[in-house]
Amino acid sequence: MKEKLINEIENAMSGILTFEQTTQLSTSLLQILSKYEVMVDGETMHEDFASNSRLLEIFLSAKQVEGCSLKTIKYYESTIRHLFNGMPKNVADYTTEDIRAYLAVFQSKRKSSKVTIDNIRRIFSSFFAWLEEEDYILKSPVRRIHKVKTGTQVKEVLSDESLEILRDNCKHIRDLAIIDLLSSTGIRVGELVKLDRNDINFQERECVVFGKGNKERVVYFNARTKIHLQQYLKSRKDKNPALFVSLAKPHGRLQISGVEMRLRDIGKKLKINRVHPHKFRRTLATMAIDKGMPVEQVQRLLGHVKIDTTMHYAMVNQTNVKLSHRKFIS
């Protein structure tokens, strides 16, 4: 009904406004009218918002069964509820124009990056595709909204020199062990903080981690990491089974935020740009591929489901590209 009203207004203004102005008018009307109920001949067009919440709950339950993490599920929920609140209507009534208008207004108001907008688009696509598959709606309104082109951004990795500077300036053996474990295994910070002492196999220099979706995999560390881990554990006086604990009493399990803050502070003091746990992971992937490790093995090491993700992490060293060009092409 709202679409019909907008079409009537557009037709009435077509002789006055340009095409660009008409498009802008349509977008604005979609956004504004979404907050109101439209009445025709005294009858109110009711929208069952309670059913939206119920469908969202079922969708999130399905995602949980698929193995999505709690963090991912919460992100899905907040993103979809924001759509319900910003453009309230029954899920069956959302159109492609509604979703496009919502994304356009969201980006304009929040000055969001293209990556953020594409993430929101992907969440909407997943939700409405599920509604279509489960026969709650006839067709997903997101189907005709294509991937947002974000461009390729070369992300920084840690140089060999930066890694050595970080190691040399750790004032506590715990921090040194963390840096060594991150840089030699490439594990996620969420995987690191879940590790217990008993998870470490010093003889084989390996440990079992549980990644996204609670998927189990074996990762390996080098001799230097083994030595520093053993020195750190030997220095501990607490009984906590966690591999890494806080320096202050009561020596609780170290959390993700604690690792991130510690590494950031060390990096700032040493004037090394943006030191964070994920940078060690990207550095390992880049170094492994750069030295000739098959990308399929790097994928397995990092715990990626799709090989495209591995290639996105790993940035090939430009110097080696130059040398390869001279060797094979020049």
> Structure tokens of 227?
């030595």
Q: From 173, 240, 229, 181, select the one nearest 202 (Cα to Cα).
A: 229
CB-count burial class (<10 Å; 0-12, 13-18, 19+) for 299: buried
* Residue 38 and residue 29 in contact, taking contact as beta carbons nearer than 8 Å: no
Active site residue 188: yes
Helix/strand number for the chain, H first, E second = 15, 5
Beta-bridged to residue 201, according to DSSP, are: 206
Catalytic residue among 212, 236, 264, 276: 212
Q: From 88, 54, 57, select the one nearest 73 (Cα to Cα).
A: 57
Lowest mean pLDDT among 67-71, 211-215, 262-266, 318-322: 318-322
pLDDT tier at 163, thresholds 50, 70, 90: very high
Active site residue 312: no
From CA 11, how far away is CA 222, in angstroms rounded?
Answer: 71
160-326 placed in CATH 1.10.443.10: yes
- pTM higher than the cut 0.75: no
From CA 129, how far away is CA 99, in angstroms rounded?
Answer: 14
Active site residue 212: yes
Active site residue 172: no
Catalytic residue among 89, 188, 228, 262: 188
In three-state secondary structure terms, 220 is strand
CATH 1.10.443.10 residue window(s) in the chain: 160-326
From CA 255, how far away is CA 250, in angstroms rounded?
Answer: 14
Flag whether pLDDT at 67 surpasses 90: no
Catalytic residue among 205, 217, 278, 312: 278
Catalytic residue among 63, 89, 279, 281: 281
Kindly state the DSSP code that residue 252 receives in the 8-state scheme.
P
Active site residue 278: yes
Which is more confident, 22 or 49?
22
**How confident is the model over 154-176, as a mean pLDDT?**
90
Active site residue 304: yes
From CA 154, how far away is CA 126, in angstroms rounded?
Answer: 28
* Residue 236 and residue 245 in contact, taking contact as beta carbons nearer than 8 Å: yes
> Structure tokens of 66?
């698929």
Task: Characterize the bridge pairing of strands 216-220 and 39-40.
Answer: unpaired
**How confident is the model over 138-163, as a mean pLDDT?**
82
- Please provide the average confidence, as pLDDT, over all residues in the chain: 83
